[in-house]
């Protein structure tokens, strides 16, 4: 729907209070027209300068909690409001230098209100966005 707005502009930053130069944060906005429970966030994939981010390092924060994506799968009690970003924190395999970086985000959500197909597959909404942002 609004793929170009999935990554909040100027949200690419180093994590607060962290001395790890490979760690970063960015704010993601929902690519759906309604709020969804965090259990419906099926996938968040990240690449920085065409290098995949270690999936196990990705933490998603919403509603005062920061969890790995797999840990959100049973959480129907916290929702992702349309007008609020979720903060994603992750690590690259090597230190990130200050300056411009190419960021690629893949966001896939399961569409709430629809049952899985007879094959067990949930209908999903998927966006991939690539932007250039400055890290300082």
DSSP type of residue 7: B
pLDDT in tens, 4-58: 667 887 789 998 777 889 999 999 998 778 898 999 898 999 999 999 998 999 9
For residue 117, pLDDT beyond 80: no
pLDDT in tens, 60-115: 999 999 999 899 999 999 999 988 999 999 999 999 999 999 999 999 888 776 66
Are the beta carbons of 44 and 71 closer than 8 angstroms?
no
Report the pLDDT value the prediction gives residue 1, as an integer from 0 to 100: 44
Report the pLDDT value the prediction gives residue 13, as an integer from 0 to 100: 93
Helices (H), 35-92: 69-72
The pTM assigned to this predicted structure is: 0.85
Chain centroid to Cα 74, Å, comes to 17
Spatial CB neighbours of 30, under 8 Å, sequence gap ≥ 6: 36, 80, 81, 82, 86, 109
Strands ordered across the beta sheet of 13-14: 13-14, 23-28, 86-91, 59-62, 65-68
């Amino acid at each position: 729907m609004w793929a170009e707005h999935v990554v909040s502009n100027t949200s690419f930053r180093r994590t607060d209070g962290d001395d790890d130069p490979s760690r970063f944060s960015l704010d993601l906005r929902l690519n759906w027209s309604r709020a969804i429970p965090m259990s419906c966030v099926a996938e968040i994939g990240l690449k920085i300068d065409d290098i995949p981010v270690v999936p196990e390092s990705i933490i998603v924060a919403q509603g005062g909690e920061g969890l790995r994506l797999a840990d959100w799968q049973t959480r129907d009690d916290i929702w992702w409001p349309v007008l609020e970003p979720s903060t994603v924190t992750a690590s690259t395999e090597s230190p990130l230098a200050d300056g411009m970086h190419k960021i690629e985000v893949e966001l896939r959500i399961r569409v709430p209100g629809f049952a899985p197909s007879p094959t067990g597959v949930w209908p999903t909404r998927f966006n991939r966005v690539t932007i250039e942002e400055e890290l300082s």
